[in-house]
Amino acid sequence: MCLAVPAKILEINKNEARADILGVTKTINLMMIEDVKVNDYVLVHVGFALQKIDEEEALKTAELFHEGFNKIK
């Protein structure tokens, strides 16, 4: 089983992108998917974007992560 997190693409430079992942900016690899643009949402696993997702799905998933983190505190 793998865990993929939603990310919003902020900036693209060839096969890499700066992305907002749950409030943290990271560099991710885009080699596994095509046609990604700034402001698109993707699922990221171990630094690789696996697929594009729509904004509604990304925001719902991010909220679930935040709820889970708050329960741990």
| pLDDT digit string, tens, across residues 21-51 | 999 999 999 999 999 999 999 999 999 999 9
For residue 51, give every residue at least 6 positions away whose Cβ sits within 8 Å of its Cβ, in sequence order, or none: 33, 42, 43
| pLDDT digit string, tens, across residues 3-22 | 899 999 999 999 999 999 99
pTM, two decimals, is 0.88
Answer whether 39's CB lies under 8 Å from 16's CB: no
- Write out the residue range of the structural domain in which residue 9 sits: 5-72
Q: Structurally, how many domains does the chain consist of? A: 1
Residue 32's domain is classified under what CATH number?
2.30.30.140
